[in-house]
Structure 1
Amino acid sequence: MNIMIRTAKQNDYKSLLPLFKQVHDFHVSARPDIYKENATPVEQAFFESQLLDDKQHIFVAVIAEDIAGVIVTKEEEINENTFVKARKVLYIQSLCVSEIHRKKGIGKKLTKYVFDFGRSLGVSSIELGVSEANTSAIEFYESLGMTTMSRKMEFKFNE
């Protein structure tokens, strides 16, 4: 199976929408108190604005003309201040492999592609946020050498 990684294009939107929805639906099921159901979680205009933004990079995995996965990233520069040193980070905002193409190494190939891309940009690290409920994603990222750097916690009030 030949997996090609390339930069997303404007005409990829319709093929990517089911993947964006797949990610969003996971978040809705894990945290319905935060996320709401939405048939179009990424509007086409927003997707197109990401493609035009030189700090955002969307890469797709293609198998025989079909988009099998997507990874969305964003460069961020952190300015030095009295607390932190200046650094440049590449954030993975989203990663999704279509359900029919899982366990074929596509997510690994996309993520390693982004690791190489980040290295070429000269970033100090590649970072991401992942839901505690998404244990398979945590295991996946750990298998690629990523480590937990912080944890976000909450105290919820009954409404």
Structure 2
Amino acid sequence: MNILVRNVEKADYQSVRRIMNQVQEMHVAWRPDIYKSNENLISEDVFDLMINSGNAFVADVDGVVAGVLEVTYKHIESPAHVTREVVFIDTMAVDKEYRGRGIGHQFFEKVRELKDSSGSDGIELQVNAMNHAAYEMYKECGFTEKSINMELL
């Protein structure tokens, strides 16, 4: 299996949409009190913005888009915090048919490259508390808990 992490292209729209819909349906299954089904999470206009940002990538597996990665760069500065530059992983999603095949690890290699080339201090992300598989992969890749979001319904 040949995995190429590359910038997202216009022709990837339907594949990215399919993968993001899979993720949304996982969220709906876990928390229907918060999430709802929506087959048009990413409009073509929003997708064009993703392309133009240069911060959206796909995992291309032998010509098939099997994953989506989107990052943002955050400047953290306040009287309470040490000033830092962070690469924040907004989206990391792998098609259900390709999970467990190393695509997430390839995405992390790409994010590490982005961190190094931008001179950022760290990489951060959020994970749904119900997504145990992703949580374990993140720990395996060296991530540690920074904070925990809690709610009262």
Divergent runs of 4+, >3 A: none
- Unpaired runs of at least 5, structure 2: none
Match of 1:107 among 96, 104, 108: 104
- Aligned equivalent of 1:131: 128
The aligned amino acid for 1:151 is I
- Aligned equivalent of 2:116: 119
User: For 2:74 and 2:9, how far apart are their aligned partners in 1?
Assistant: 22
Match of 2:57 among 59, 63, 68: 59
The aligned amino acid for 2:71 is T
User: For 1:82 and 1:11, how far apart are their aligned partners in 2?
Assistant: 45
Q: Is the aligned partner of 1:9 residue 2:9?
A: yes
Do 1:71 and 1:111's aligned partners in 2 also have CA atoms closer than 8 Å?
no
User: For 1:142 and 1:65, how far apart are their aligned partners in 2?
Assistant: 29
User: For 1:53 and 1:109, how far apart are their aligned partners in 2?
Assistant: 21
The aligned amino acid for 2:74 is E
- Aligned equivalent of 2:73: 75
Question: What is the Cα deviation at residue 50 of structure 1?
Answer: 2.3
What is the CA deviation profile of residues 71-93 of structure 1, one whole-angstrom value per residue up to 9, with x for unaligned ones?
111111123x3211221111111
Do 1:60 and 1:71's aligned partners in 2 also have CA atoms closer than 8 Å?
yes
The aligned amino acid for 2:25 is D
- Aligned equivalent of 1:35: 35
The aligned amino acid for 1:98 is D
User: For 2:51 and 2:82, how far apart are their aligned partners in 1?
Assistant: 29
The aligned amino acid for 1:17 is R
TM-score by length of 2: 0.94
User: For 1:111 and 1:23, how far apart are their aligned partners in 2?
Assistant: 18
| Residues paired across the two proteins, number | 153
Question: What is the Cα deviation at residue 127 of structure 1?
Answer: 0.5
Instruction: Quote the sequence identity (%).
Output: 33
- Aligned equivalent of 2:49: 49
Question: What is the Cα deviation at residue 51 of structure 1?
Answer: 2.2
